[in-house]
Chains A and B, each alone.
Chain A
Amino acid sequence: MSTAPGVEICTLIIENRECGGRSDQTILDVAEEYGIFIPTLCRLPGLSSIGACRMCLVEVKGSNKLLPACVTKVQEGMEVTVNSERLEAYRRTTLELLFSERNHICSVCVTNGHCDLQSLAQKLGVNHITMPYLHPHVEVDASHPRFIADHNRCILCTRCIRVCAEIEGAHTWDLMGRGTKARVITDLNRPWGESESCTGCGKCVQVCPTGALSEKGQAAGEMMKRRQFLPYLSMMREVGK
C-alpha cells in the first residue's frame, strides 16, 4: 500500500474483527473493505459525505458520542461497534421518522422494489410505523419534459444537490427553508422545467435514493436507478484537478 505524506497505516477493531486501514480512510471505507455491513442512506460513493442521515452511527470505545462512520477517520487502536441493541433501535427509529415525515406510499411508487429507503427498512426489520404521520402538503413538479420531482417521497438526503454541484458543476439544486419545512429546489425555486441552469443530464434522478426524482413515463416499480457512471466521473474529476 502506498500512502500520501502524513498518511499512516493503522490497525483497528471493527465488530470484533482486526482490520487495517489508512488514516485518511473513514470507518465506513475500512468496514466495507472487510465486508462488514454498516447501513447508509445519505452517503453515496463518489459524492462528498455529510453525516446527515445518522444511519451509519457507530460506537467508538472511549468516545461518549456516537459517530457517523461515513465521515469519521480511522485511528490506530480504535475499537468500533457497529451493531448493538441501542444502535439498531436508533436506526429503526430514524427510518420510522423518515417514513412519518412525508407521504411514502410504496405500492404506487415508481421505485417500489428498487428503493434505498424501502430496502433498508426491510433489511433492518422495520415493519410498522408507530409514529403518527405528519402528512405535509407537498407538491409534485412535472414541469420538466423528461423528469418528475415528487416531494412526497423526498427524504432530504441532498444527493441530488451534491451530484449536481460536485459532478455536473451546475448547482441547479439546493435546499430552501429549514427543519421539516425544507425542500429541494431548482434555481430561485422555479419549476424544474423552467430552470435556466439545469442541463437535463439526469444525474440527480439516478442518485436519488427514492422515487422523489424519476424519469417520466414509468409505471409503479419500473424505475431502476443506474449509478454506474458515478465512481468513474468522480475519479475523472479528481484527475482533472
Chain B
Amino acid sequence: MLTNAKVVSPPSDDKRWKIIDGTMRRHGHQPHSLIEVLHTMQETFGFLTDDGLRYVATSLRVPYSKVYGVATFYHFFTMKPPGKHTCVVCTGTACHIKGANTLLAAVQEESGLKAGETTRDGSLSLLTARCVGSCGLAPAAVFDGQVAGKITTDSIKRRVRDFLGNETDAEILSVGEHQ
C-alpha cells in the first residue's frame, strides 16, 4: 500500500484549498475519507466543482467516476453555486400535513422560483429538505441556516421579500418573470 499521497497541487492558488488539504491530512489521505472531504469542500466553497473533485480524486487515489458517483448520490451535495440567501422549505411528513406545499407556492408567487432554483441575480435559492427534524414546529423552514417554525404563507413571503429586497439588481428577476 502507498503510504504517502502523491503530491498533487490544488486547482488554484485560492488559500481555501488549505482547509480541504487539512481534512485530507487529518484522515491520512485515506480513500474512505472521501465523503468527509466533500463535506469540507462544500462548507468552504458553498458547492462542489469539477476541478475540486479532480483534485480530491487524485489526492485520495479514488477513481474519478467514483468521486462523481458519490458526489451525485447524496442530495446534501450540490454542484451548482447557491444564491446569496437560501430558503429551505421542509417537506417532511408533519410539514406536509400542515401545508408545506402552500408555502412553496407562496415562495414561487413571491419570487418566481421553483424548488431547486436560484434567482438570476443570485440573490436567493429555494430548496426543499426531506425533514429538518423540527416536526414539533411544523411547518418549518430554514432561512440562511436558521430554523424557523410555525411558518405561514405571509411570514415566508415577508422573509423572501427581505432577501430579494437586499439586492440592488433584483429588478433583473422581475424582468425575467414577465417574459
A: residues with CB less than 8 A from B are: 161, 165, 170-178, 185-189, 196-197
A111, B72: Cα distance in complex, Å: 31
28 residue pairs A–B, Cβ–Cβ below 8 Å: A165-B63, A170-B63, A171-B63, A171-B65, A172-B63, A172-B65, A173-B65, A174-B63, A174-B66, A174-B69, A176-B68, A177-B72, A177-B73, A178-B72, A185-B68, A186-B65, A187-B64, A187-B65, A187-B68, A188-B53, A188-B54, A188-B64, A188-B65, A188-B68, A189-B68, A189-B72, A196-B64, A197-B64
Nearest 7 A/B pairs, CB to CB: A174-B65, A171-B63, A174-B69, A187-B64, A176-B72, A188-B68, A188-B64
Apart from A174-B69, A189-B68, 16 more pairs, CB < 8 Å: A171-B63, A171-B65, A172-B63, A172-B65, A173-B65, A176-B72, A177-B72, A178-B72, A185-B69, A186-B65, A187-B68, A188-B53, A188-B54, A188-B65, A189-B72, A196-B64
A186 to B68 alpha-carbon distance, docked (Å): 9
CB distance from A25 to the nearest CB of B (A): 30
Can you name the residue of chain B whose Cβ is closest to the Cβ of A176?
A: B72
**Given A176-B68, A177-B72, are A197 and B63 neighbors across the interface (CB < 8 Å)?**
yes
- Residues of the B chain whose Cβ atoms lie less than 8 Å from the Cβ of A173: 65
B63 contact set on A, CB distance < 8 A: 165, 170-172, 174, 197
Interface bin, chain B: 10 to 19
Give the contacts of B52-87 with A (CB-CB under 8 A): 53-54, 57, 63-69, 72-73
**Nearest-Cβ distance from residue A49 to partner chain B, whole angstroms:** 20
B72 touches A188 (CB 8 A): no
A185 and B65 contact, CB distance less than 8 A: yes
Do A176 and B64 touch across chains, with their CB atoms under 8 A apart?
no
* CB nearest neighbor in B for A189: B68
> In the assembly, what is the distance between CA of A130 and CA of B35, in Å?
41
- Separation of A187 and B71 alpha carbons in the complex (Å): 13
